[in-house]
Amino acid sequence: MATLHETHSQVSVTKIISVFPKTLNPPKLLELSNLDRQCPLHMYLVFFYNPSPAYSSSSLDLVFTKLKAGLEETLAVWPQAAGRLEPSPTDGKLNLRCNNRGVILVQAMTNVEISGLGDLSKYNEFSEKLVYKPVLNGNFSEFPLVVAQLTRFGCGGYTVGTGISHSLFDGPAAHDFLTAWAAKSAIFKQRMEHQVELQRPVHQRGSLLDMAKFGNPRSSASAAVAIEHLYGLIMQAGRENNGEMGKNKKDEYFCTTFRVSREMIQRLKNNANLGANAAFHCSSFDVIAAHLWKARTKALSVNKEKMVCLQFAVDARNRLLPPLPKGFSGNAFVLASVTLTAKQLEEKSHRTIVEMIQNAKSRVNNDYVHAYKLGLEGPQASLPPLKELTVVSDWTRMPFHKIDFLHGQAAYASPLKPPILEVAYFLQNPADSQSIDVRVTLLSHTLDTFSSYFMTSMQ
């Protein structure tokens, strides 16, 4: 019997088409904000749907056709997804040309069975074959902002693999878009848009953010500390490596997932409360992020005198004055940041680290967002590998697995390797909403050490 490794290439693409909005909108240029421009690359996500009697007798072509029809309707409401990024001729900054160029939809099939992939929460290299990856070639005007691949498995199950430019949507906006597409596709069910609350999108970007009543960030305590910390880490790494940063190969990294149960989370919270004179309240995110930062830094054997940094995304939608309207479809996340030396991080209690995280969150206000936007005015470059940096992206409030493309929720919705390898994802577990799956990318030789440090305190 062939192993999964031997069948790795056995995903056969049978169709590649462009999909256009059902109703074409007049072309226009949509001004992006600096928050949109941070990462124009695709973020890839694979939805796994186990075999079901509901679609066992349906052809791949039928499923593909319904998915295409639903996408056409969705693009009529979300026309910017069918557009292209376009550099400004004056300053080179990317904006979004809504020009009805379309998105790419791919049909594929494989003899592999979903059960053969094992635990779907664990990263599997085979998943990279379940998404369509366009080649950029440096020309954003030819680069589709949305791609999707429908793959039928030998067992009769399906995957829907999506790739969405981060300049197009942040996490909540991508969730709204994919939910709308699934509802309008009506695969093996009645049309769902009246049963699912679809968010009407608001597509204004930079001009809408500029309506906020910003103060003077230079006279405010709300400086863009996340950007300052990141520049500091890059300079620190440059001094250490004499300008030879970034030579680690991506194949030296390994993605893995740790299941943190509600009991483990409670133990972490109890540890943070030790010695407290009064009740100490903290979220699951706070304690897991603090614990992850400590464990990852220790596992990577960072020099004790080096600065290490934890950064995490904060949704600014309701932190601006006035708040952004419900349905805002652009990027509204900024990074909050805390930094210490590796020695300080090791010695400080979980409670102290949690309090630092909470304080960093509280500093994200109107002026912080303004300062952050200004901090992104400079030239953007690819981030070199930085073992002193840990970034957390919290998806627990975006349950992608509940998006019903076929019949019932997905068995799992799995992100692929992030473009920035220092990123860890916090995901809601489909079987237990009170548990959190931590997907982290590590240097291969540190995996066992990290696992020991990360899991020991929660047993």
Domains of the chain and any CATH numbers: 11-207 (3.30.559.10), 222-238+252-457 (3.30.559.10)
Radius of gyration of the chain (CA): 22
Is the pLDDT at 44 greater than 90? The verdict is yes
Cβ atoms of 157 and 114 closer than 8 Å: yes
Give yes or no for residue 354 having a pLDDT over 50: yes
**pLDDT at site 408:** 85
Model pLDDT, residue 238 = 80
Per-residue model confidence as pLDDT tens digits over 283-309: 999 999 999 999 999 999 999 999 999
Give the pLDDT band (50/70/90) at residue 250: very low
Mean pLDDT of 372-390: 82
Position 249 pLDDT exceeds 70: no
Flag whether pLDDT at 438 surpasses 80: yes
Q: Residue 144 pLDDT more than 70?
A: yes
- More confident site: 209 or 113: 113
Confidence of residue 459 (pLDDT cuts 50, 70, 90): low
User: What's the pLDDT band for 163 if we cut at 50, 70, 90?
Assistant: very high
Of 208-222, 316-330, 352-366, give the lowest mean pLDDT range: 208-222
User: What is the Cβ-side half-sphere exposure of residue 305, based on CA atoms within 13 angstroms?
Assistant: 2
Residues 6 or more apart from 9 whose CB is under 8 A from it?
129
The active-site residue out of 5, 42, 166, 203 is 166
Quick check: 7 pLDDT over 50? no
β-partners of residue 28 are 98
Predicted local confidence at residue 355, as pLDDT: 95
Sheet holding 103-110, edge to edge: 11-19, 103-110, 146-152, 158-165, 42-49, 412-415
User: Can you tell me the mean pLDDT for 356-361?
Assistant: 96
Query: Taking Cα atoms as reference points, which of 79, 83, 97, 84 lies closest to residue 21?
Result: 79
Q: How confident is the model at residue 407 (pLDDT cuts 50, 70, 90)?
A: confident
166 part of the active site: yes
> How do residues 47-89 score in pLDDT, each as one tens digit?
999 998 888 788 999 999 999 999 999 999 999 999 999 999 9
Q: How far apart are CA 253 and CA 251, in angstroms?
A: 5
Q: What is the mean pLDDT of residues 113-118?
A: 95
Percent of the chain with pLDDT over 90: 68
Q: Nearest-CA neighbor of 36 among 168, 162, 126?
A: 168
Taking the C-alpha atoms of residue 282 and residue 358, their distance in angstroms, rounded to an integer, is 8
Other Cβ atoms within 10 Å of 129 Cβ, number? 23
Q: Is pLDDT of 102 > 50? A: yes
Burial label for 274, CB within 10 Å (0-12, 13-18, 19+), is exposed
Does residue 24 have a pLDDT over 70? Answer: yes
Q: Which amino acid is at 188?
A: F
CA distances from 175 to 171, 219, 235 (A): 6, 37, 36
Q: How far is CA 176 from CA 90, 345, 382, in A?
A: 33, 38, 28
pLDDT digits (tens, 9 = 90+) for 265-290: 999 998 888 655 556 789 999 999 99
Question: What pLDDT is recorded for position 278?
Answer: 59
Instruction: Give me the percent of the chain exceeding a pLDDT of 70.
Output: 87
- Reference 294, options 226, 225, 392; nearest CA is 392
CB-side exposure of 207: number of CA atoms within 13 Å?
7
pLDDT in tens, 174-228: 999 999 999 999 776 665 555 566 778 999 887 666 765 555 545 444 578 999 9
Of the pLDDT bands very low, low, confident and very high (cuts 50, 70, 90), residue 436 is: very high
Out of 336-345, 352-361, 412-421, least confident range: 412-421
- CA atoms of 151 and 64, how far apart (whole Å): 9
